[in-house]
């Protein structure tokens, strides 16, 4: 049983090595720099910017329409503003940077919700005092400012962030080439990792 497993492992290794040898140019005991490489595909910074612009402009238009009384799109607009400005980062392979923007805007929208609920409870209070809604409106405005500032920051920074990611991806590479030594009749693989 053990010999059969060893034979299967040896056969598998031999097949993989044969494929690598046939797919690359052999280097006879030296590095001829004709190596096969694994690289990361670069993303277009302009496309990332356009995605972020569309993801910001459409939800803002929906919020503006709801504020003008042209429709009940406020909830849709706020949900779109939560994720939309991060579309360029998601496209550009910058998941964590995109999620950071979503988190900041979620905090801002939470503050907007607190201001709206505070104003609603103040207006429908059970005491006979005059409602003081202005402080809750100020809280909601602070939240709206956070959301808007985060969206503008994402618009301004997305092209540069995708460019930096492309530069880092160019610097990182994994290259491999077969190595055949005719003197000792051994076959091997050379790997080169640069980062």
pLDDT in tens, 45-104: 999 999 999 999 999 988 888 888 877 777 888 889 999 999 999 999 899 999 999 999
Residue 2 reports pLDDT greater than 70: no
Residue 176 pLDDT grade (very low, low, confident, very high; cuts 50, 70, 90): low
At residue 153, the pLDDT reads 96
Query: Is the pLDDT score of 136 beyond 70?
Result: yes
Residue 177: the pLDDT is 66
Nearest partner of 19 among 184, 186, 187, judged by Cα? 187
Phi, psi dihedral angles at 34 (to 5 degrees): -100, 75
- Name the pLDDT band for 24 (thresholds 50, 70, 90): very low
| Residue 170: Cβ within 10 Å count | 11
Q: Which residue has the higher pLDDT, 128 or 28?
A: 128
- Percent of the chain residues topping a pLDDT of 90: 38
The closest alpha carbon to 11, from 3, 135, 109, belongs to: 3
Residue 151 has pLDDT above 80, yes or no: yes
| DSSP E strand stretches across the chain | 36-38, 173-181, 186-194
Q: Whole-number mean pLDDT of the chain?
A: 78
Mean pLDDT for 146-158 is: 94
At residue 170, the pLDDT reads: 77
Q: What is the pLDDT of residue 34?
A: 46
Report the pLDDT value the prediction gives residue 128, as an integer from 0 to 100: 60
Q: What is the pLDDT of residue 154?
A: 94
């Amino acid at each position: 049983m053990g010999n059969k497993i060893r034979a299967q492992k040896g056969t598998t290794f031999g097949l993989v090595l044969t494929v690598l040898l046939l797919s690359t140019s052999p280097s006879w005991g030296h590095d001829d720099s004709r190596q096969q490489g694994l690289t990361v595909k670069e993303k277009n910074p302009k496309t990332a910017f356009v995605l972020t612009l569309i993801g910001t402009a459409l939800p803002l238009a929906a919020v503006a329409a709801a504020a003008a009384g042209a429709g009940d799109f406020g909830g849709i607009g706020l949900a779109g503003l939560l994720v939309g400005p991060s579309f360029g980062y998601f496209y550009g392979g910058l998941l964590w940077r995109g999620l950071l923007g979503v988190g900041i805007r979620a905090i801002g929208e939470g503050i907007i919700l607190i201001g709206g609920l505070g104003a609603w409870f103040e207006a429908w209070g059970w005491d006979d005092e005059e409602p003081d809604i202005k402080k809750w409106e100020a809280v909601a405005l602070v939240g709206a400012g956070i959301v808007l500032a985060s969206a503008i920051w994402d618009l301004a920074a997305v092209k540069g962030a995708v460019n930096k990611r492309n530069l880092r991806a160019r610097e990182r590479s994994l290259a491999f080439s077969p190595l055949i030594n005719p003197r000792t009749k051994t076959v091997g693989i050379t790997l080169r990792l640069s980062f």
